[in-house]
Amino acid sequence: MTSLRTFQNEIDEIQHREALKQKIIAHGASEKENEAKRASLKVVEVKADVANEPTAQSTSVGGEDEPELAEVEAKIQSLLLENQTDEARNQVAALLTRNRGEYVFRIGARPLHERLFTGESIRAEDGAIGTSRSLEEVNTLSTRLTTVVDELGGKTSTLYMCADSPCRAAYLLRLPPPSVALTPEVRCAVVGNVDSGKSTTLGVLTRGALDDGRGRARVSLFRHKHEIESGRTSSVGMEILGFGPSGDPILPSAASSNDVEAIRHEKMSWENISIQAAKIISFIDLAGHERYLKTTLYGLTSGAPSCVILIVGGNAGLIGMSKEHLAIALALSVPVVVCITKIDMTPPNKLAETIKQVTKILRSPGCRKTPVFVKSMETAVEVSEVFAKERLCPVFQLSNVTGEGLNYLRTFLNLLPSSEGDTDKFVADQPLEYCITEVWSVPYVGTVVDGIVNSGRLKAGDAIMFGPDSNGKFENTAIKTIQRKRAPVNSAEAGQCVSLALKRVRRANIRKGMVIVHRTETPPRAIRQFEGTVLILYHNTTLQKNYQAMLHCGAIRQTVRIIAMDHPQGILRTGDRATVTFEFISHPEFLKEGMKLLFREGKTKGLGVVTKLL
């Protein structure tokens, strides 16, 4: 029996190895192109060659000698206290540039995470990180830091300020992005059981007005008539929350009014939010009902979320599909955040029972996460930067009626690292690979596709190919226009979610799961059969040859058949691991070695990774 944790570590190793191999291949291809260009131009300039050599060397070893961030912070504080503002400004500018225009700057000696996250009382003698500062020094540093950042064209906002011993504060330094195309985005998938409060929580977060206790906040999120009538989400919805350079959420003007109709109908356009925002949080609102589990699975695998927000009703606990959603998030190795809602209407004893149950499940051997109950702004700030790396699970207790806990959640979301900043997953200096997740036909525009740029860059006017079709072929077209969050942009790069209007392409010729690549003489190869190393998470009896299941692999969702397996008995049970050969039933797909796959049919669940293309 192979444990899930061991298997996930092996999957990560395979993915890392394949990503490295693809980088080497791409780098080799670009070098060959450059050599071909030099040969055709027959330009031999010794000086240029000599000048280029150090550049190549510097890029290969770049970053090794960069000082630690804590040392840079300490140096900036010393310069500010000595009133050397010019040098301090240069250091702050370098710090912001290195961190994509956003940085949490801490002043004073802050407590160790172990003590802060457990909720224990914090004392100066318990040990801390950083240099101790008096309240007067903190105020001086705060004033001068704000002045320096203002001179750079940025904004400084106070995240927290603790006057108790040890005296400490944290400030968000943020430069407004030069254009919508460069605005950082964080993708969060929102899951949970029916009636746990997913849509209401999203409605309150994105619209600003509190709920009335009868679902007023969620009505504006529903897209279909049957959703309004039943009160249940059945589709993959998308909502966005923008944060300005000062860290304040961008909300409609009706948010502060009590007019029900104004709140329901006044809605800021995505374009308006995008233009004002310095960071965008994209919520993938997924269905909670068991009937729509396939839709929820597709949203989790195709949306490449940075984290999963699991909504748990305080009055009901972690029941039904909540456990299923948590299991899927853990299987896909996506960091999890738990929000316990309805704390205003839940009796104290029932709420304590729910908290105990959530804690027990998170600490269980199958989950192995340490819950961090966020009850202060300092905890929200500190846990936002480390929870994904340290196997922590932030737990928020929310009331959408009174607003309790919502400020902590907003601050946490505002500080999450951007999805495109994950350079291990999204590589800009590789060939273009754009994965299609949605397709529309827009009047007077034509066929429009939405998806994520997995690697490379694209711009309006690029000649591209899309496919594979039912015969495994790729068709040629070009990009007419590009939109990001419904705002027009000229280009997009790896990690970004954008919509493309395609030239002279019929809606019927394109589908979800296809990829777009730059036009070349040799199109990518479409795959009908492939090998994968799989772990059977659950099955009632045994899996055998010719077994069929629904496979989810990125934006691909298609039925596959098992045509071979290397297990000695020729059957697989719960907990078994094997190398299995799969075949797509309907049509070939674009696959790469190292892609993570999830398959299920009924209660059967399996996790795996593509190891060989056949």
Task: Please tell me the distance from the alpha carbon of residue 187 to that of residue 174, in angstroms, as a whole number.
Answer: 19
The SS3 call for residue 387 is coil
Per-residue pLDDT at 125: 54
The answer to whether residue 17 scores a pLDDT higher than 70 is yes
What's the mean pLDDT in 49-74? 49
Per-residue pLDDT at 31: 56
Report the share of the chain in percent with pLDDT over 90.
49
Task: Please tell me the distance from the alpha carbon of residue 117 to that of residue 383, in angstroms, as a whole number.
Answer: 8
Per-residue pLDDT at 303: 84
Per-residue pLDDT at 116: 81
Q: What is the mean pLDDT of the chain?
A: 83
Task: Please tell me the distance from the alpha carbon of residue 511 to that of residue 251, in angstroms, as a whole number.
Answer: 35
pTM of the model: 0.86
Lowest mean pLDDT among 12-21, 256-265, 457-466, 556-565: 256-265
Closest CA to 413 of 282, 236, 220, 272: 282
The answer to whether residue 552 scores a pLDDT higher than 80 is yes
Per-residue pLDDT at 285: 83
Residue range 589-609, pLDDT digits in tens: 999 999 999 988 877 789 999
**Model confidence at 421, in pLDDT bands (50, 70, 90)?**
confident
Name the DSSP class of 571. Answer: -
CA distances (Å), origin 258, targets 165, 221, 262, 472: 42, 18, 8, 56
Exposure string (b/e) for 257-281, b if CB count within 10 Å is 16 or more? eeeeeebbebebebeebbebbbbbb
Task: Please tell me the distance from the alpha carbon of residue 205 to that of residue 191, in angstroms, as a whole number.
Answer: 15
Tell me the domain boundaries of the chain: 1-54+525-614, 69-174, 180-421, 433-518
The answer to whether residue 47 scores a pLDDT higher than 70 is no
The answer to whether residue 548 scores a pLDDT higher than 50 is yes
Q: In what order do the strands lie in the sheet with 102-108?
A: 102-108, 168-174, 155-162
The answer to whether residue 1 scores a pLDDT higher than 70 is no
The answer to whether residue 83 scores a pLDDT higher than 80 is yes
Domains 1-54+525-614 and 180-421 share a fold: no
3-state secondary structure 266-326: CCCCHHHHHHHCCEEEEEEECCCCHHHHHHHHHHHHHCCCCEEEEEEECCCCCCCHHHHHH
Q: What pairing do the DSSP bridges indicate for beta strands 457-459 and 491-493?
A: antiparallel
- Give me the sign of the Cα torsion angle 223, 224, 230, 235: negative
Task: Please tell me the distance from the alpha carbon of residue 224 to that of residue 221, in angstroms, as a whole number.
Answer: 10
Cβ–Cβ under 8 Å, residues 604 and 540: yes
The answer to whether residue 361 scores a pLDDT higher than 90 is yes
Residue range 301-314, pLDDT digits in tens: 888 899 999 999 99
CATH class of 1-54+525-614: mainly beta
CA distances (Å), origin 43, targets 19, 33, 35, 47, 48: 34, 15, 11, 12, 10
Cβ–Cβ under 8 Å, residues 397 and 373: yes
Residues forming a β-bridge with 103: 173
CATH 1.10.101.10 fits 433-518, yes or no: no
Select the more confidently predicted residue: 51 or 576.
Answer: 576
The answer to whether residue 139 scores a pLDDT higher than 80 is yes
Closest CA to 278 of 424, 103, 403, 428: 103
Select the more confidently predicted residue: 463 or 260.
Answer: 463
Residue at token pair 């777009």? 516
Q: What pairing do the DSSP bridges indicate for beta strands 392-397 and 548-553?
A: unpaired
Residue range 482-512, pLDDT digits in tens: 999 889 999 999 999 999 999 999 999 999 9
Per-residue pLDDT at 389: 86
What's the mean pLDDT in 394-417? 93
Architecture of domain 180-421: 3-Layer(aba) Sandwich (3.40)
